[in-house]
Structure 1
């Protein structure tokens, strides 16, 4: 069965600010990424998704873009960007740009012009409304807390910002604004990039007067227009960030005959450790079998209809080993291997976030002064006024704060883990002397080589890309299992999602199957008992 290149690919996300500093200013940069391309090629990834490197005042760490066609000086120059695209291509690695078209920075020239007068041609590039009863037009809330509306006195109007007030939302009903976005996207596509990750793309169809933000009625028309005007004319991948997607909505985005996106990031599984109806900071314990049911639902409902993305981590999420594995010295690596094996045999395109392959873990803080993340700080201040105990707020930030993913990449045992010779913009985790790339590369049993093996297996076995999926019942909610199969072969994946020994049953004996991967040093002696966090995948021909 023929596949698009991105259906067999494994994509690696880089947070450039934290990946590698080449000029010793404490901030990662494009030349730093170029220095590490051989490492990424050895891992075997096919594409690099870069979090934003455009010019930005960094109110939200680059997701507030002030110039779409300029590189932020902290990251380098456009010549560095061109060099990165070329050097990556020589290693058969594509570059995927992170793009924010729901909003810009308030320092973008468009918004600076929009502020001058209501008659300025750029004024209508953004969403403005008159005051109502002396206050905001309605009760829409920002995703970062507080009102989504900010008043501009000399215009006697409010502008909409679904994020920070320094991130005004674009008006997707304005044809001239849309054309400016299409031209900008084609500028990047002509440079030879491999595609776009589209930040909060499900918000561009918003209808603020009706307090509709996600999945507005015109959203899919806008995406089809975007496809036809830009990336639909290139052999590239597009992935949309869609927090509100269901499988049915994801099918609309990713069905090949609808000319929208290649796939979306859906977050149903990511919301399983928060209290229902509450915000992500309101913590609850994960139920592993509930996680299994959610993954399985997406595997089955999108089969032959759309395409899945597969991920545990990104720049907005805590480290998965700390979150749903076990970050103790005893179980850090084996639980990381279990999580990797469970995910990478599913149908879809896997994403690896920088340091995930090393088993990097969360960075705990003791007080709010240690926090950089805008979202965490706004939550802290908002809830402090509401009377929440400080200890509870710090606990929530340590569990879910976005800084957890943003501390520098751990390369070796040198000063600042080899990230920079100067003080990094965020501190390096204290465990860098043992958890680092140099140590992982030197140990053939490290988590790094589990990821490398999983990438190789995906390219080797077509059943991983195209086979069907079904749950395998184990009679134990902590032992999760599934099969991938086609006419030629069958793969069975079994994982113990706990740190205790677990017994389980499957419908068939697996003892005669070929072991493709196993995260314990010895072949299991008892096929119906798993050690803590034990995981394996086996194969047989049909």
Structure 2
């Protein structure tokens, strides 16, 4: 396995609006982030992934960009951004920027020109089509945010494609000029000193020729097969790699919904002709019923084992995994996969161990390291997320579904679970702002906050610090091969990592009852590297009784 710094790194994601507010306007900003760099440095993370801070009308919280080379006023100035970059670099940390190039904002200068007339030079920067003779949209695709993926523009009496919000028109990657504009912009940021890109929905940039409707006959239908992992996507990414990425020593990760392990082995191939790694979504769907994300069903450990093992083995020797259990688009992992009540600390530590000991680059989402939880706002008006409001309108306001039933699904799966402000201390608004926060703080901030975590030597924060430190000390954690053990166990997820004559044994109890693990390992020495309960290190590892949400990692020699 070829050694690379980005394989050995741990990434920490900052969601700018919710991290730290320096000026009291209720919105997190760049100066706020810079003020917390010592905290991140103490945690030990290597790379900061910054969700978008570009100029944006904020229809989708910054993922609708109106100027790729300017900073949103709410976040500060380019000088503030440069100070953040310098602060990171001076502490030995790197910065990965979010790259959103499947679509722009409808307020981007390219789209403002594009919609003026059918013969405007920028018309072909986007995907325009006439409607059908019966007055219907060009095809029956639906948007990720519900409703048609097409919006009629009265000015030219044609429709433009938007796979997300109607204020996020899709760029036309078939147009060589569009691609060149994007590569020039990427080069501009890299020359400013950034260390990589996280690429938003990058596997959607190539659509099937002719943009056909799905064969279902429905007026509105999911058309993912026509725009996910499309016919030219690898051609485009290889071109991007040749013209931009290969010229810098950087980290790249592509968000790729609907990608299989076979797709990932191409996107994140070991020859590095495209990207370093991708984000898979398969493990994020194990609690989704046949009706999709909002059709919540209880997840099963067997499904988690199947999916994680498929990706670990599927990319072995072929590519590289990214490892995550939550981010700005997903609920809090301790609420979803652990127990955020009586075993919040234990289960948060177990989940962190489970993830960080696998092969791949781990991603920590802000607040994960202190065990922040999902939130339950009573009123739909207290939520901010466009996706939540679109779904609620479709199901309750227009569809007549039960309000409380839909709210329960939001409590489990809503993106705003991850977007409530970072909880720094027990002061008003969790120390996030002196003003009124853009979205309410989780009411449990008085019990769960960074100040409390830093004062407690047994906190989740210091446990994560140790996980990160172990990664730096043991090549096996980064480069060892993965194998699932105790596959049929209903409560325990256990696996080994192997590198040369060393073996790592990772055992995780995913439930609140005691569970017995029986192994069959012969070794001269078993060193307990980390556990979330007090241990004396002399247990018989071939016959272990694990307490509620207990995890242990042994190095066998």
How many Å separate the matches in 1 of 2:252 and 2:320? 11
Alpha carbons 1:224, 1:258 under 8 Å: kept: no
Name stretches of at least 5 consecutive residues in structure 2 with no aligned partner.
214-225
How many Å separate the matches in 2 of 1:196 and 1:436? 30
Alpha carbons 1:470, 1:484 under 8 Å: kept: yes
Alpha carbons 1:515, 1:538 under 8 Å: kept: yes
Alpha carbons 1:54, 1:65 under 8 Å: kept: yes
Is 1:253 the counterpart of 2:254? The answer is no
Task: Tell me the secondary structure at the aligned position of residue 289 of structure 2.
Answer: coil
Runs of 4+, deviation exceeding 3 Å: 509-512, 522-527
Task: Tell me the secondary structure at the aligned position of residue 292 of structure 2.
Answer: coil
Task: Tell me the secondary structure at the aligned position of residue 32 of structure 1.
Answer: helix
The match for 2:238 among 215, 221, 224 is 224
What residue number does 1:465 align with? 478
Using structure 2 for the length normalisation, give the TM-score. Answer: 0.95
How many Å separate the matches in 1 of 2:325 and 2:73? 31
How many Å separate the matches in 2 of 1:331 and 1:269? 23
Residue 510 to residue 497, structure 1, CA distance change in 2 (3 Å): farther
How many Å separate the matches in 1 of 2:314 and 2:545? 31
How many Å separate the matches in 1 of 2:536 and 2:489? 21
Is 1:361 the counterpart of 2:368? The answer is no
How many Å separate the matches in 1 of 2:155 and 2:264? 42
How many Å separate the matches in 2 of 1:34 and 1:487? 42
What residue number does 1:202 align with? 203
C-alpha displacement of 1:2:
4.7
The match for 2:384 among 372, 376, 379 is 372
Alpha carbons 1:114, 1:121 under 8 Å: kept: yes
Task: Tell me the secondary structure at the aligned position of residue 241 of structure 2.
Answer: helix
Alpha carbons 2:95, 2:194 under 8 Å: kept: yes
Alpha carbons 1:475, 1:505 under 8 Å: kept: no
Alpha carbons 2:382, 2:440 under 8 Å: kept: no
Task: Tell me the secondary structure at the aligned position of residue 280 of structure 1.
Answer: strand
C-alpha displacement of 1:190:
0.3
What residue number does 2:447 align with? 434
What residue number does 1:420 align with? 433
- 1:34-67 deviation line (CA, Å, top 9, x unaligned): 1000110110000000000000000000000000
The match for 1:396 among 385, 402, 409 is 409
C-alpha displacement of 1:210:
2.6
Is 1:80 the counterpart of 2:93? The answer is no
The match for 2:348 among 336, 343, 347 is 336
C-alpha displacement of 1:435:
0.7
Is 1:529 the counterpart of 2:531? The answer is no
Is 1:311 the counterpart of 2:324? The answer is yes
Within 5 Å, give how 1:27-426 maps onto structure 2. Answer: 27-133=27-133, 134-207=135-208, 209-211=211-213, 212-257=226-271, 259-276=273-290, 278-328=291-341, 330-384=342-396, 385-426=398-439
Alpha carbons 1:254, 1:261 under 8 Å: kept: yes
Alpha carbons 2:532, 2:552 under 8 Å: kept: yes
Instruction: Give the superposed CA RMSD.
Output: 1.4
Alpha carbons 1:474, 1:505 under 8 Å: kept: no
Using structure 1 for the length normalisation, give the TM-score. Answer: 0.97
Alpha carbons 2:30, 2:80 under 8 Å: kept: yes
How many Å separate the matches in 1 of 2:449 and 2:312? 33
